[in-house]
Structure 1
Amino acid sequence: MSDLPKTAHKTVRLEATNHDGSFLGKTVSAAKFASGKETGFAFADVLFAIDLGDEFVLGDAYADWRGNLYDIQMVPDLSTLVEWKPGMDSVIGDYRKKDGSPVPICPRNLARAMVDRLAALGLTAKVAVEIEATLFEESVQEARARGYRDLTPLGGSAGATYHLARSKDWVDYMEAVTARLDDLGIVWEAWTDEAAAGQTELNLAPTNPIALADAWARTRQVMREVAFEQGRTVTFMAKPTAGWGQGAHLNLSLQREGVNQFFAEDGPTDLMRHAIGGLMATMAGNAAIVLPQITSYRRLEDLSGPPTTISWGVDNKTAAVRAITGHPRYSRLEYRVPGADVNPYLALAGVLAGVAAGIEREIEPPDEVTDMAWRLPEGYGVARIPDTMSKAFAALDADPILREYLGDEFVDFWVVSRRWEWMEFHTKGGDPYSPLSEWESLRYFELP
């Protein structure tokens, strides 16, 4: 971490996500930052009232927003202050009302509330993420001119996981990204190619949930900036082409006084079993949160990698939750549902809410799936993950656990925002029957 700005010429970039996961902010002078670093900086709360097409979301359910464009305060978390580049620091913050209370729909506030809920149980979460993205040879300007269609995958046209035959341009990009992450103090563990042409997976190391979400949001920004500098394009869209989709698998363990509570020699502990029970009970409702955009649901195809059923299994990568057991350090749960387009803070808030509920209520999970979890017959008794946005937001609206843990204000707000997104797609040119519509490419390719 850097010290506070030392010269009058250094600027500070204030950073936070909106609900859709876009990385927002403003750049202020050193003097301005010094004057507001304790009290915060004014942001119009309209940032929670516009969609990715910059349209006002009519019928917004957030009670404090009624079209008056009130200011909220973005209060910097000084523990996140880093030197982003020579002459500029950056800092991540939280949205607060003028009275100092947390904005209840602020993604970072929601994630922190779930961390605090686990802390009240004497538990600390450690989480890691596998970030998937797709790289293209064209510059972002050319990609825009083409409507983000018919782009050339960087590194060659072949797609094969772990393949080392990628060309030097692809390797140069990833090495530049990881060098920037090292400079910022963001700890990464591995990168590799993924299944689709031009696709990569970058793994961030386990840490506490807020630090992980901060690092995740910043990593996406780094990957964009490196692409701009090299004349390339990168996207975190859940399905940027008609081929493979891309996700963001979350790996989670719970610690008590530094000891992994998910470890047992003979399989899942009681705590892990109840955490799984909570994740299963909330998975349908959480789909609306971890699959936030229309294209997120195009990714849910049987036999293509992503989970399609509300299922869990020990070391079963076809299930929605994979339990890794039997190791004192690596025993964990892998939550495989989120798309690459998810808001990092909301993803963690929803998952931790399910985990906390399962533990507090001692929810027993359904039977483990030991077979392939794709295309299970109806008589198997395993439901499918909602495969459209409308099914998902209806499930969230009706989920009593997520309403209790995340709050009615957030759930009502999110349901309205997703209903609006569904309506925009169906009334402004989206084609539900195409592998990928032009409307989706234009709306989601660069955001979040």
Structure 2
Amino acid sequence: MSELTLPVTEVDARAAGTRAVRLEATNHDGSFLGKTVTPKKFAAGAGPGFPFADLLFGLDLGNAPALGFVFPDWRGHLDDVYFRPDLSTWVEWEPGLDAVIGDYWLKDGTPVPICPRNLTRKMVERLGSLGFTATVAVEIEATVFEESVHEARARGYRDLTPLGGSAGTAYHLAKSKDWSGYMNAVADRLDAVGIEWEAWSDEDAAGQIEINLAPGDPITVADAWARTRQIMREVAFDRGHTVTFMAKPTAGYGQASHINLSLQRDGANAFYAEEGPSETMRHAIGGLLATIEGNCSIVLPQITSYRRLVDLSGPPVTVSWGISNKTTAVRAVCGHPSYSRLEYRVPGADANLYLALAGVLAGVIAGVERKIEPPAPVSDMAWCMPPGILTRLPDTISKAAAALEADSTLRELLGSEFVDYWVGSRRWEWMQFHTAGGDPFAELSAWESHRYFELP
């Protein structure tokens, strides 16, 4: 198991200075879960870990047990898995309440194979064995509505009023003051807990915002992502509003979580070359495209995720890459020693960033290890291509699950236990949609709004 990063005596002393400590982690669907314990309980459990029922990896977003696929040995009889805190994430969340993020481990001291944070760490360590470190950044998109979450629930999450007015084109400053007031309050909370952000702005849809977190190592950025979304929810609640990270909360524009990535070796940007993409960048692109169809299942996790994939509406729809081409799935930014990077534009706002980063890093690792050369870059618009020119991304949850199941590279790197579990859970989600009231022909069904508006 992972080791404590503070001496036990210091854990005792720090825990004694607060009223309670909240344990935080995501489940596979990206929901931020936790348990609040007393300082005494935290000091006692920080080393051996805190028991959580394995049900946290067995319930779907409708709070029903997901069935119909084989459980691993450690699942199925509500045995405990163990939350072990990463004390480097310890912050004062609010007066009297501290918070610590952690991972899930089994009794035998091995990581839970489907624990999202552990899976990210596994890919970071594999990348390190190749002599590389990764720097990533994420763009968080969300839509804020004037109504409180209680009113939103009463309305079935329909016919809500976008905060800030009806302007629906990016970067508008012609917003009512409640919109900037909300975002200023979010920024203040981020500053208070030590989350570094770089920018926020109006996005394409009415009421939609984008906030850019500062680049960092994958685990740190994913931790910041999880806490930022929690802060955005809490600030919305405090101000009588509601916020959603649903992939497509209205019939208009969808919402993304673009991932920016670069690799470093010996302190230098391995993606930089004066003439364009470096060899390492080319191979990373090759690996990302080779695994992109299977990775769609991970980065587009829910039924509504696929309603975003519409030509000319922003998201990529093809297996493609290009230099400074935002219509492609992978955009290469070249020519700068510091800023040369790849932007992976497929993930929806509903993606679990830990798992999304694990899948993306797996693709990069495969490309670098196997020296996979990408196809020619797309210099035209990658939307509305005639049939046969570019391969289309999977456009349903079941097609993407089948692509992941068949992807031997992702299976090798992420592990069969994760792949089989994830594929089974996505097929369960498909069945729930088709048997519990989902409408595949609706632009957005009421079933999806009830299931995804608040969670993940």
TM-score by length of 1: 0.98
Q: What is the DSSP-based 3-state SS (H/G/I as helix, E as strand, rest coil) of the residue aligned with 1:206?
A: coil
| Distance (whole Å) between structure 2 residues aligned to residue 272 and residue 325 of structure 1 | 9
Counterpart Cα distance in 1 of 2:443 and 2:18: 50
CA–CA separation in structure 2 for the residues paired with 1:183 and 1:55: 37
Question: Which of 404, 408, 411 is 2:419 aligned to?
Answer: 411
What are the within-5 Å matches in structure 2 for residues 89-104 of structure 1? 89-104=98-113
Residue 335 of structure 1 is matched in structure 2 by 344
Matching residue's letter, 2:442: S
For 2:15 and 2:117, the matched residues in 1 are separated by 28
Q: Which residue number corresponds to residue 201 of structure 2? A: 192
Contact 1:126 1:254 in 2 (8 A): yes
Q: Following the alignment from structure 1 to structure 2, what is the Cα–Cα distance between the partners of residues 195 and 427?
A: 33
Aligned-partner SS, 1:248 = coil
Q: Check the 8 A contact 2:16/2:40 in 1, yes or no.
A: no
Structure 2: how far apart are the matches of 1:78 and 1:258? Answer: 27
In structure 1, list runs of 5 or more residues that go unmatched: none
Cα pair 2:18 2:98 within 8 Å, conserved: no
Query: 1:420 Cα deviation (Å)?
Result: 0.1
Alpha-carbon distance in structure 2 between the residues aligned to 1:419 and 1:371 = 35
8 Å contact kept, 2:55–2:78: yes
In the alignment, structure 1 residue 355 sits paired with structure 2 residue 355: no
- Other structure's SS at 2:318 match: coil
Deviation at 1:352, TM superposition (A): 0.2
Looking at structure 1, the residues matched to 236 and 208 of structure 2 have their Cα atoms a distance apart, in angstroms, of 14
Q: Which residue of 1 aligns with 2:285?
A: 276
Q: State the partner residue of 1:156.
A: 165
CA deviations 1:298-321 (Å, max 9, x no partner) are: 000000000000100000000000
1:97-112 alignment runs, 5 A limit: 97-112=106-121
1:392 pairs with 396, 400, 403, which one? 400
CA distance in 2, matches of 1:149, 1:96: 40
What's the secondary structure of 2:199's corresponding residue?
strand
Which structure 2 segments of 5+ residues have no match? none
Partner residue, 2:327? 318
Cα deviation, 1:86-134, whole Å, max 9, x if unaligned, reads 1011000010001111011100111000000110011000000000000
Correspondence 1:383 to 2:384: no
Conserved? CA contact 1:191–1:202, under 8 Å: yes
CA offsets 1:119-176 (integer angstroms, 9 cap, x no match): 0011000000000000000000000000100000000011110111111000000000
The residue aligned with 2:182 is 173
1:117 pairs with 2:113:
no
8 Å CA contact 2:164–2:177 kept in 1: the answer is: yes
Indicate the SS of the match to 2:214.
strand
* Alignment counterpart, residue 93 of structure 2, candidates 70, 76, 84: 84
Alignment of 1:3-402 (within 5 A): 4=11, 5-7=14-16, 10-380=19-389, 382-402=390-410
Tell me if the contact between 2:54 and 2:75 (Cα under 8 Å) persists in the aligned partners: no
Q: 1:439 aligns with which of 442, 447, 452?
A: 447
Change (3 A) 1:8 1:164: closer
Secondary structure of the equivalent of 1:360? helix
- CA-atom RMSD in angstroms: 1.2
Do the aligned partners of residues 250 and 66 (structure 1) sit closer, same or farther apart at CA in structure 2, a change above 3 Å counting? Answer: closer
What SS does the corresponding residue of 1:415 show, helix, strand or coil?
helix
Q: CA deviation at 1:60?
A: 3.9
What CA distance in whole angstroms lies between the structure 2 residues aligned with 1:48 and 1:66?
9
Q: CA deviation at 1:8?
A: 6.5
Task: Report SS of the residue matched to 1:128.
Answer: strand
User: Residue 379 of structure 1: CA displacement?
Assistant: 3.5
C-alpha deviation, 1:9, in angstroms: 5.2
Instruction: Write the deviation string for residues 251-310 of structure 1: whole angstroms up to 9, x where unpaired.
Output: 000011221011111100000000000000000000000000000000000000000001
* Counterpart secondary structure, 2:388: helix
Distance 2:122 2:145 in 1: 38
Helix, strand or coil at the partner of 1:130: strand
> Is the CA contact (8 Å cut-off) linking 1:22 and 1:447 kept in structure 2?
yes
Contact 1:125 1:253 survives alignment (8 Å): yes
- State the one-letter code of the partner of 1:432: P
Secondary structure of the 1:207 match is coil
Tell me the number of residue pairs that the alignment of Structure 1 and Structure 2 aligns.
447
CA contact (8 A) 2:15 2:43 kept: no
Say which SS state the counterpart of residue 271 (structure 2) adopts. Answer: coil
CA deviation after TM superposition for structure 1 residue 14, in Å:
0.1
Question: Does the 8 A contact of 1:62 with 1:409 survive in 2?
Answer: no
Task: Classify the secondary structure of the residue corresponding to 1:203.
Answer: strand
Amino acid of the residue matched to residue 172 of structure 2? H
* Kept in 1: contact 2:15–2:42 (CA 8 A): no
Give the match's secondary structure for 2:331: strand
